[in-house]
Structure 1
Amino acid sequence: MQFPGFIRPASQNDIPAIDALLRAAFDGEKEVALVRALRRDGVMRGEQVIPLEDEIIGYYALSAFKAPAGWLCLAPVAISPAWQGRGHGRRLVSQLAAWADQTQTVIAVLGAPAFYARAGFDAGAAAALTSPYPVDHMLLAGAGGKAPRQRLAYPAAFGGS
C-alpha cells in the first residue's frame, strides 16, 4: 500500500509533475498556463505539494493580490483524480488555513464553499468584499473572523481584475 508524503514546498524539479497533476485534475492546459504566468509575473508567493514517490498528488499555489497589499490568493488547488475523496485536499488546505490564522495573513479563495469551510476558511469573513468574481463563492482565512471591506484586485494572470 502506498502512502503520500508530508506536505512540502514545491521545487524546480517538481514542475513537470505539477503540470501533469494540473492537466489531470482540470482536464486541460488552463491551470498550467495560469501557474506559469503567476511564476513569470513574479507574483507567486508559495507553492506546496503532496509527493508520492516520483509524482505529485496534491498542489496549491499562493499569489499576491495587487490589492489589498499583503493579501494572498489561493489558486489553483489540485488533488490527483486517483487520490480525491481521501481527505488529502482538506489536509492540504487545512494546514494553510491554520498557518494563515496563526500569522494573521489573509488568504482569499474562490471555490466550493462547503469544502473550504470544512478546511478552515470562513465565508462570512468574505461577505463585505468587492471582487470581479462571485463573492458568494469567496472565503477567507487569516481574517480573524472579521469581514473586511476591501476590493480585490487579482494578479494579471487571472484576467478578471
Structure 2
Amino acid sequence: MNLFQTPDFARDMKRGEEPAVDALLDQAFANTAESRLVGKLRKSRAIAGETVLPMDGQIIGYYALSYMVKPKGWLCLAPVAIHPDVQNRGYGKRMLGVLTEWARLTKTPVVVLGEPNFYQRAGFSSDYAKNMTSPYPIKNTLIAGVDHAPKQSLAYPAAFQS
C-alpha cells in the first residue's frame, strides 16, 4: 500500500464486496471468527448496514451495524476492522466518529462491546451504558445516540451467541 495514499470517503458496502470484506476481517483479526460472525449476521438478516472505507482500490476499513433483539430500534456495532498495514492512523476513529454523529443526530442508540479507551475517543460513552444489563461485561459496553444513561436490558442477535 502506498504510504502517501489517503482513503476515500466511507460508504455503504456494495454487493460483491463481501469476499474483500471477509479477507480484511481475517487479516485484521488474524483469524476467521469475525468473518464467520458477519456471515451469520448476513444469513439471518440481522445486519442493518455495512460500511467500508476504500483506499487505492482496496477495502481498508469496515464496520457492521446489526439490529438488537432488545430494545427494539437499537443497533449494535460489530465488528470494526482496519487493515493492519494502515492501523494507528486514525481511520477507524474517523469512521466511527461519523457513525456516532449520525447516531446523535438521529437519536438512534448504537451499542458496542470493546476497548473503552478506543471507543470513547470515537464518541461512544461508557458512562451512559452503566445502567444497562447485558450478557457481556458492562465495563466494556459503550453507547452512542443517547444523552442520558438508559436503564435497559440488552439482547443481541443470535449470531453473537454461537
Q: Please, what TM-score do these two structures have when normalized by structure 2?
A: 0.96
Q: What is the CA–CA distance in structure 2 between the aligned matches of 1:65 and 1:4, rounded to whole Å?
A: 30
Verify: 1:102 aligned to 2:108, yes or no.
no
Q: CA deviation at 1:53?
A: 2.9
What are the superposed Cα offsets for residues 52-81 of structure 1, whole Å, 9 maximum, x if unpaired? Answer: 133110000000010000000000000001
User: Size of the alignment, in residue pairs?
Assistant: 159
Deviations 1:67-121 (A, max 9, x none): 0000000000000011100000100110000000000000000011011111111
Structure 2 counterpart of 1:143, from 129, 143, 146: 146
Matches within 5 A, 1:8-157: 8-144=11-147, 146-157=148-159
Quick one: distance in 2 between partners of 1:20 and 1:5? 19
Give the whole-Å Cα distance in 2 for the aligned partners of 1:64 and 1:97.
16
- Identify unmatched segments of 5+ residues in structure 1: none
Q: Which runs of 4+ in 1 moved over 3 A?
A: none
CA distance in 2, matches of 1:115, 1:29: 23
Give the letter aligned to residue 121 of structure 2. Answer: R
Tell me how far 1:137 sits from its aligned partner: 0.7
**Structure 2: any 5+ residue segments left out of the alignment?**
none
SS at 1:12 equivalent:
coil
